[in-house]
Chains A and B, each alone.
Chain A
Amino acid sequence: QVQLQESGPGLVKPSETLSLTCTVSGGSISSHYWSWIRQPPGKGLEWIGHIYYSGNTNYNPSLKSRVTISVDTSKIQFSLKVSSVTAADTAVYYCARATASGGWLYYFDYWGQGTLVTVSS
């Protein structure tokens, strides 16, 4: 059974960089997309971006200038960095595995439990 677990600071100061790591267990990091999705308190879901196990990335254009997603296949982990954070970046951050096929089939089949990151001084 694949499991994902987010880790990282729960409190980040404005203008600093938010850093989270997702550790994958129970499965291989190969042949899947590894994504970050966030949810501000009481609001809906926003896709941040994903990385393929080979290292290819795709980001939400609204966040692209501030976001970096990387993968460490040896540790079976992938990471998120969001720079220059503001209160608007306060959210529950989820990591998720996406299964893709045929160039168009793509869905999030495994999710981490989520971690709340608050941006505040």
Chain B
Amino acid sequence: DIQMTQSPSSLSASVGDRVTITCRASQSIRSCLNWYQQKPGKAPKLLIYAASSLQSGVPSRFSGSESGTDFTLTISSLQPEDFATYYCHQSYGTPQTFGQGTKLEIK
């Protein structure tokens, strides 16, 4: 299985901060990397697909990038509604796998 190592596992930040979450794949996954946001008791919501494409309706403060097997989700200026858990997801290999999640909390 392709392992997705997400870091950090938790993060405290303030409104207005710039935040970066990283996901490292255990092997090449091309650009088959997606990012989701999940709030308590809710289903995940797609933010970024194909490493850097912004899903329709998602604010432009969210962005994604890649460098080899390292993928990054950046939130340029945190808003109150952004405090949630974030997951990366690789769709290159079977089984598809998710990172373990990053819980973003208010400082």
- Chain A residues proximal to chain B, CB less than 8 Å: 44-47, 58, 60-62, 94, 96, 98, 104-109, 111-114
Write the chain A residue with the least CB distance to B43. Answer: A111
Q: Once the chains bind, are A45 and B43 in contact (CB under 8 Å)? A: no
Is B20 in the interface zone, CB < 8 Å from A?
Answer: no
Q: Given contacts A106-B91, A107-B34, A108-B34, is CB(A47)–CB(B96) below 8 Å?
A: yes
**In residues 74-107 of chain B, which contact A (Cβ within 8 Å)?**
87, 89, 91-92, 94-101
Q: Once the chains bind, are B49 and A60 in contact (CB under 8 Å)? A: no
Q: What residues of A have a CB within 8 angstroms of the CB of B98 in the complex?
A: 44-47
Q: Given contacts A45-B87, A45-B98, A114-B43, is CB(A105)–CB(B36) below 8 Å?
A: no
Is B16 in the interface zone, CB < 8 Å from A?
Answer: no
Closest approach, in angstroms, between the C-beta of A1 and any C-beta of chain B?
Answer: 11
Write the chain B residue with the least CB distance to A95. Answer: B43
Q: Which among A62, A94, A105 is the interface contact of B43 at CB below 8 angstroms?
A: A94
**In residues 12-27 of chain B, which contact A (Cβ within 8 Å)?**
none
- Chain B residues proximal to chain A, CB less than 8 Å: 30-32, 34, 36, 42-46, 49-50, 55, 87, 89, 91-92, 94-101
Q: Given contacts A45-B87, A111-B44, A113-B43, is CB(A105)–CB(B95) below 8 Å?
A: no
A112 to B42, CA, bound (A): 9
Q: Once the chains bind, are A108 and B87 in contact (CB under 8 Å)? A: no
Q: Which among B34, B44, B49, B94 is the interface contact of A58 at CB below 8 angstroms?
A: B94
Q: What residues of A have a CB within 8 angstroms of the CB of B97 in the complex?
A: 47
Q: What residues of B have a CB within 8 angstroms of the CB of A60 in the complex?
A: 94-96
Q: Which among A61, A105, A108 is the interface contact of B89 at CB below 8 angstroms?
A: A108
Closest approach, in angstroms, between the C-beta of A105 and any C-beta of chain B?
Answer: 6
| Smallest CB-CB A-B distances: 10 pairs | A111-B43, A106-B91, A107-B49, A60-B95, A47-B96, A45-B98, A107-B34, A44-B100, A44-B101, A109-B46
